[in-house]
Structure 1
Amino acid sequence: MIFTKEIEIFLEEDLKDDDLSCTLVFNKPVNAVIFTKQECVVSGIEIATAVLDYLNISYSVKKNPGDCAKPNDVLLELAGDSVAILRAERLVLNFLSRLCGIATNTRSYVEIVEKSVSTYNIRQKTKTGSPNPSSQTNQTALPLLPPKIAATRKTTPGIRKFEKKAVVDGGGDAHRSNLADLVMIKDNHIEIMGLENAFWEAKKKASFSKKIEIEAENPEQALLAASLGADIVMLDNMTPAQIRKTVSLLTEKGWRDKILIEVSGGISKETLSEYAILGIDVISLSAVTNDAKWVDISLEIQKK
């Protein structure tokens, strides 16, 4: 949901009191198009149209969130007063450029994971006749599923919900949007009160509907977290070899199917394929938002 107060804050920052730049022109009905100058995954349409609605600008959406767009593809067609369109221009373009960049970047991570897992499954099936013999011993073993690519809370203050939505538009997972979404017991919690104490305190205070996630820095911590009954175990800054060992130990103990395994820390686009085939559920990265490049998107008034 986008609130009117948010739009007004964004506009107030840009317009201020003496908007001479936009009011120089005659205020008359005009048509305009918003288009991308480069290939991208579309995101930010909802915030763009909310701003247009606020300024009484009519529009037609030509590309929806999650769509792929090519250079010169039109995202929105506009019709309204010239002053209103000029006032909306930079705010709308900034959001579209930023959010399309995040969606596009996220899609690239998702595609790497999907391709890596697909290639792995094909190779395993070719070798043994079973898609994933390491996880099961019979010939009905299921193939690996691609782990979800999830965002972290390392986002721009004030516009997190828009950046998280852009990750979803790119095929990723928003993860938790705030501290209330789930209880995450991290290294500093463990340092202050110990892993077991932190877990049982969370168990006592949290609603039955809220999941508890524990960050583990080594296989021993991961096993302890699983034995306590954590819903999610995050393997933090572990190497692929350490993760593989941890997954194997959890499987041996019979705990693997009772938890979700999230992996985070030290993962780049170059090493992502190594992590994708380890039999984990989620890979969380700040890079999907922090490393995203803005997409070149423009608005042009149409000649009659």
Structure 2
Amino acid sequence: MFVFHALSEVTRRHLLDAGLDPDALSGLIRHAIAEDLMGGIDVTSTATIPADQRSIATLGAREAGVVAGLPVVAAVIETVCGDAASELEYLVRDASQVELGMKVVEVTAPTRLMLTAERTALNLLCHLSGVASLTRKWADALAGTSAAVRDTRKTTPGMRALEKYAVRCGGGVNHRMGLSDMALVKDNHVAAAGGVVEAYTLVKALESTISVQIEVDSVDVMRLAIESGADDVLIDNFTLGQMREAVHLRNALNPNVRLEASGGLTVDTARQVAETGVDFIAVGELTHSSRVLDFGLDLQEVL
């Protein structure tokens, strides 16, 4: 049976500083490694590498982008190799821009176990860096405006905290983490409750202190949402002209209400949307359609 190891206090602290739960991540890593081993062993590494061999390896970028997930890589190495048997040095920090060929981490560990951990570490690093890199493109497009790019709940099951961390690394802002920390009243809720005002009233009756966002598809419905007391309004599929009208109405009714634009937006049109005066741009593709950023692990020296 494969032996998993506990995370070091240093790595746990790095994860906590990143807003990540070390125990939840440890569980995800163990599941991923178990999935890879399928109840058996790493046949290739076991056959070709002496059990007592140690090596130094580096993880390097195979294309330019934004790195995210280095403490996660450390957690994978420690889970598989053990803290006492491995050393990891960060050569850059998460959220850094990396270029082709740049080394991001150096690892010293038992060779056999390092290669068993390799694919899980790279899968996570490449995916999270892809999310961060795409987010950075949107953030750069909005630079100099008052708007920020915001993510959604369109995340990979089991990976939400990690993907939302990657969004932060890319310069984006997190929307709600789940269904319980904020209410988002959408068209189906409005239909079931009998109207916008009724839906808002019912949410506040259940959770009086919760922040409420209401999705609207017209300026008239937006007026109802603001007058009912919504903290945020999600304006869905508005034209640029309708967005400007919505901002003007918001400023007249309650300037403290935050407006978030969504629906059919692209990074090429993001700045035009931001210049209408909305506060956020909702982008689901940050987490559901980002392309991985390629990294590789290469042995540098066998000890």
**TM-score range relative to shorter protein:** 0.7 to 0.9
User: Which residue of 1 is the match for residue 274 of structure 2?
Assistant: 276
User: Which residue of 2 is the match for residue 129 of structure 1?
Assistant: none
Please give the alpha-carbon distance, in whole angstroms, between the structure 2 residues aligned to 1:150 and 1:9. Answer: 30
Structure 1 runs (4+) deviating above 3 angstroms are none
Please give the alpha-carbon distance, in whole angstroms, between the structure 2 residues aligned to 1:153 and 1:67. Answer: 25
Per-residue CA distance 1:252-289 (angstroms, 9 max, x = gap): 33x1x121111111111222121010111111111222
Identity %: 29
Aligned positions, number: 272
Structure 2 runs not aligned, ≥5 long: 1-20
User: What is the one-letter code of the residue matched to 2:162?
Assistant: F
Counterpart selection for 1:36 from 49, 61, 68: 61
Per-residue CA distance 1:191-225 (angstroms, 9 max, x = gap): 111111110011111142x2011111100111111
Please give the alpha-carbon distance, in whole angstroms, between the structure 2 residues aligned to 1:173 and 1:12. Answer: 33
Query: What's the secondary structure of 1:302's corresponding residue?
Result: strand
User: Which residue of 1 is the match for residue 33 of structure 2?
Assistant: 11
User: What is the one-letter code of the residue matched to 1:37?
Assistant: R
Please give the alpha-carbon distance, in whole angstroms, between the structure 2 residues aligned to 1:263 and 1:91. Answer: 36
User: Which residue of 2 is the match for residue 81 of structure 1?
Assistant: 110
- The answer to whether structure 1 residue 66 and structure 2 residue 95 are counterparts is yes
Give the conservation status (yes or no) of the 8 Å contact 1:41–1:107.
yes
Q: How does 1:107-186 map to 2 (within 5 A)?
A: 107-114=136-143, 118=144, 145-186=145-186
| Range with greater deviation from structure 2 (234-243 or 284-293) | 284-293
Give the conservation status (yes or no) of the 8 Å contact 1:2–1:47.
no
C-alpha displacement at 1:17, in angstroms? 2.3
Query: What's the secondary structure of 2:22's corresponding residue?
Result: coil
Please give the alpha-carbon distance, in whole angstroms, between the structure 1 residues aligned to 2:265 and 2:114. Answer: 42
User: What is the one-letter code of the residue matched to 1:156?
Assistant: T
Give the conservation status (yes or no) of the 8 Å contact 2:68–2:94.
yes
User: What is the one-letter code of the residue matched to 1:273?
Assistant: R
Give the conservation status (yes or no) of the 8 Å contact 2:69–2:129.
yes
Please give the alpha-carbon distance, in whole angstroms, between the structure 2 residues aligned to 1:17 and 1:76. Answer: 29
Please give the alpha-carbon distance, in whole angstroms, between the structure 2 residues aligned to 1:226 and 1:204. Answer: 17
Per-residue CA distance 1:162-194 (angstroms, 9 max, x = gap): 111100000001211111120110011111111
Structure 1 runs not aligned, ≥5 long: 119-144
Q: How does 1:146-295 map to 2 (within 5 A)?
A: 146-193=146-193, 194-208=195-209, 210-253=210-253, 255=254, 257-295=255-293
Please give the alpha-carbon distance, in whole angstroms, between the structure 2 residues aligned to 1:39 and 1:277. Answer: 29
Please give the alpha-carbon distance, in whole angstroms, between the structure 2 residues aligned to 1:188 and 1:10. Answer: 36
Query: What's the secondary structure of 1:106's corresponding residue?
Result: helix
Per the normalisation by structure 2, the TM-score is 0.87
User: Which residue of 2 is the match for residue 49 of structure 1?
Assistant: 74
Per-residue CA distance 1:113-148 (angstroms, 9 max, x = gap): 11xxx4xxxxxxxxxxxxxxxxxxxxxxxxxx4311
Per-residue CA distance 1:6-25 (angstroms, 9 max, x = gap): 22111111122222122112
User: What is the one-letter code of the residue matched to 1:26?
Assistant: P
Please give the alpha-carbon distance, in whole angstroms, between the structure 1 residues aligned to 2:190 and 2:243. Answer: 20
Q: 1:242 to 1:33 in 2, by over 3 A?
A: same
User: Which residue of 2 is the match for residue 2 of structure 1?
Assistant: 22
Give the conservation status (yes or no) of the 8 Å contact 1:62–1:74.
yes
Q: 1:250 to 1:146 in 2, by over 3 A?
A: closer
Please give the alpha-carbon distance, in whole angstroms, between the structure 1 residues aligned to 2:221 and 2:112. Answer: 60
Please give the alpha-carbon distance, in whole angstroms, between the structure 1 residues aligned to 2:151 and 2:166. Answer: 10
C-alpha displacement at 1:250, in angstroms? 2.4
Per the normalisation by structure 1, the TM-score is 0.86
C-alpha displacement at 1:67, in angstroms? 0.8
Q: 1:17 to 1:250 in 2, by over 3 A?
A: closer
